Structure 1
Amino acid sequence: MSSGLKKIVIIGVVVLVLFFLITQPTHSADLVHRLLGWLKDGAEAIITFFKSLFA
């Protein structure tokens, strides 16, 4: 991918995300909250695995 095309794609994604955040802030916040919850659950599962492994 050329650097010019890469730059255009990145700018397009940023503009799309900003548009989504501005037009639907409540839905965006809910989406981020769910994503962080999934990350937290995944981290807790990994911690539990290593605790069980070394216990």
Structure 2
Amino acid sequence: MDGEGPVNLKKVLVLAGVALVLFLLITRPEESASAVQTALGWLREGAESIITFIRSLFGTATPVA
């Protein structure tokens, strides 16, 4: 084998994922927007938690505004 099998599988999986995302965006835009907002909320909360943790390590535990 020359290593092309996993690469082709990876390409197929990426293309299938992109196709699924596009399908959902086109057929269910409201639900897609809600899912994106939820995911961004999780990312924001995670970032705020990390910032709070880092600040507490260095003794500047002020809340994130």
Larger Rg: 2
**Structure number with higher relative contact order (C-alpha < 8 Å, ≥ 6 residues apart):** 2
| Alpha-carbon RMSD | 1.2
Q: Which runs of 5 or more residues in structure 2 are unaligned? A: 60-65
Task: Report the TM-score when normalising by structure 2.
Answer: 0.75
Q: Give identity over the alignment, percent.
A: 53
1:32 to 30, 36, 48: 36
1:11 to 15, 18, 41: 15
Q: Which runs of 5 or more residues in structure 1 are unaligned? A: none
- The aligned length equals 55
1:50 to 34, 51, 54: 54
How many angstroms does 1:3 deviate by? 2.1
Q: List, as ranges, runs of 4+ consecutive aligned residues in structure 1 with deviation greater than 6 Å.
A: none
Task: Report the TM-score when normalising by structure 1.
Answer: 0.87
